[in-house]
Structure 1
Amino acid sequence: MSRFVKPALWMFGALAAGGLAFWLLLALDIPYKSTAAPETTPVTTSATTSALPEPVEQAAWVTGVRPGPDDHSAVLEVQVPNCAEAPHARVTEADNRIDAVVSYRAEQDLRCPQTPVDVPIKTTAPIGNRPVVVNGSEAWPVAAGRQQCYLVVGCNPPADHCDRAWIAQVESLAEAEHPGTTRACDQSWLIHDLQRHSGQAPNRVAYRWASYGWASFASAQGGGCAEILAAEPKFPTSLCEKLAPPG
């Protein structure tokens, strides 16, 4: 029987030694190395579509102004792209005029067909004979219905496009501090040297006639026609070929 007792005692001793060693580890608080979980890299997904550009504020093209339902209102007739947000107007009043800024919001790169839209405005005082000046350039007398007026030449502009009144409107819109010098003019084309500020050299500007008056299309620092013809080849050379530089 002793041959069975010795192995049993040996096994018991081995278990006791193992338990003692485990107790010592706990008592001594010896750190042990654990197997760390593998690091993972977060997966990011890129956007499949780029963000659309923000709409920008743009001036509306006004084609007419008519009276509203009462003497404190008018309706601005405008053309805007049919993909734009609804146009809106900001109104300020003076004793002799009403200013309306009409604009809409749309993305710059979009090309959409124009569509007519009515934009009503309200005033604090009765409109009376005060013209409605739209977007700082065109004036419309609401009391006169669809007749168009202008900032400087008024509601009965001269038929001669080279009249001093039309030139004065050019200088007013350019915010010139001094009268300029007209170098050439016919009923369709104008060359005018603007004197915007004291001490500055005159600035030569070429204009073409438009529905609202003279519209600038080029400026020139030198004499002759080269700079003007580069912007508008149809400009008649007889009006500019002999001109000296502005000064």
Structure 2
Amino acid sequence: MRSRGTRGAVVAVFCAVAVLLLGACGTQVAGQGGTIAPPTATGPIPWTTAQPAAVTGARLGDDHRTLLLDTQVPSGKHPCVRDLKAVLTDPMTDLARVQITFSSPSGDTRSGCNGESTATVRLELPEPLGGRDVIVDDYVRFTVDGAKPPALRLCGELGCHPPATGCTAASYDQALMAVDAPEHTYRDSERCDGKWLVLDFSWRTGPACDDTTDPACSSRLGDRWFFRAEKSGWKPIAEGAARGCQNVQRKEPAFPSSMCDALAPLSPSLHPSYPPPSASPTPTPAS
């Protein structure tokens, strides 16, 4: 028979092992059948280098050398940004190329930096900006051309000088962007009078291959849109693959019939909204 001291030692060892197991694997909750996850990691929250989520505005100081840039940066209950700075990445030529960086703990969820706020960063240029454009972080562009000083004008997706609305290839490209046409879209036909536009376009759907006789290599989808000219460019007003004017004149009665009366319907294979043709019933063999 084991002595009381031996049994006590065994119990003590068992309890010690149980404590180690619970510490490593979590604790079981009675009646819930689950395990409480171990506590999250502790220790200092790291600060890492980042770039602004957006650069929303730019303006010049009275000396025409001080550039002020408005940025969107992380925010929260505690400090979320430090060392916000802007630097020239190249010597000024016909452009001023700028990079904005800052340090933030926002990459760690414990930081609480899950909001966003506006912060302005200042950059002293080596000489007056003059007529140069400013490019920030390689993708945001500002120009003095057409701007209202001291502000610079933010350029859009079509650049700082988008093409005027008209019956031109560049103008049709703007119309395709306005309707989020798929990448690698090509225009099939246009009807344009400077104020109104009908645009048919299509895009490949098959694999990339050179055999144009293989339907799998030449299959495509397409669409037809109707536009009205506005100061900002072509504005889409209706879409549809049907014959004639019914799609557009239902939404815009002023659309000229001369531009849509003769429109043929798009082929079902070219328009994704066409329902697939119903299958013909299979004849039942005579008994």
Q: TM-score, normalised by structure 2?
A: 0.41
